[in-house]
Amino acid sequence: MKGGSAAHRDIIRLEKRTWLNDEIVNFYGAMINARSDEADKREAKEGPKARGEGVKRLRKAFCFNTHFWNMFGDHGFSRVKRWTKRFDTFEKDIIIVPINHNNSHWVCAAVNIALKRFEYYDSLGNPSAFVYDRLRRWLAEEHKSKKGGKEIDLSEWENFWMEDLPLQANADDCGVFTCMFMESLSRDVDGFDFEQKNMP
């Protein structure tokens, strides 16, 4: 699949009590991107209803590769500028950002263009001002790049944290929760309809 691949050594990480690696999370993100691209094509031919309706409706979503977060943080915008060259970020509903904190914990962040808010989902229940700040810096740079140097006013954009977020009950399932957050964010879903007992 374009943007993602998974070998047998990666697939076996889907077994119980095993941490997911970058390849699995990236493959899931690539699936979301491919599905969203197909919905874009259907919508262009058939109209908005072609994206589906209700919870089955696919948002105009883009999911970054797991390397985006550290690449932008460590090396600056110039190193990730080309990652969105094939589309206008500001015509998307949502930009999804999987993050691996210190190579020890998966979380999911998002820039919700449609709702004008920065979102953060951590299955351990820990909000992070640091993540919101970096998302804001990226979006400001992205806007200048895409809109001819024009600044974006982010003063009314919200830093969103969900109080009743589904939480993991073990030390292993953060990657699975992150993929489920990514899946829900790519659809027109209000909240999350899964919890620890739903995890295989």
The full set of domain ranges for the chain reads 20-44+51-190
Q: Is 8 a catalytic residue?
A: no
d(CA 129, CA 132): 5
The secondary structure element, H or E, covering residue 157 is none
Phi-psi sector, 170: left (phi>0), alpha (psi -120 to 50), beta: beta
pLDDT confidence of residue 15: 52
Q: Does domain 20-44+51-190 have CATH number 1.10.3720.10?
A: no
From the list 63, 93, 143, 174, the catalytic residue is 174
pLDDT confidence of residue 5: 47
pLDDT confidence of residue 8: 40
Which residue stretches of the chain have pLDDT < 70?
Answer: 1-19, 200
d(CA 166, CA 186): 17
Q: Is 105 a catalytic residue?
A: yes
pLDDT confidence of residue 18: 63
pLDDT confidence of residue 199: 74
Share in percent of the chain as helix, strand, coil (round to 5): 45, 15, 40
From the list 93, 122, 173, 179, the catalytic residue is 122
- DSSP code for 59: P
Residue 97 phi/psi, 5-degree rounding, is -130, 100
pLDDT confidence of residue 172: 86
Q: Is 174 a catalytic residue?
A: yes
pLDDT confidence of residue 193: 86
Residue type, 50: A
pLDDT confidence of residue 150: 96
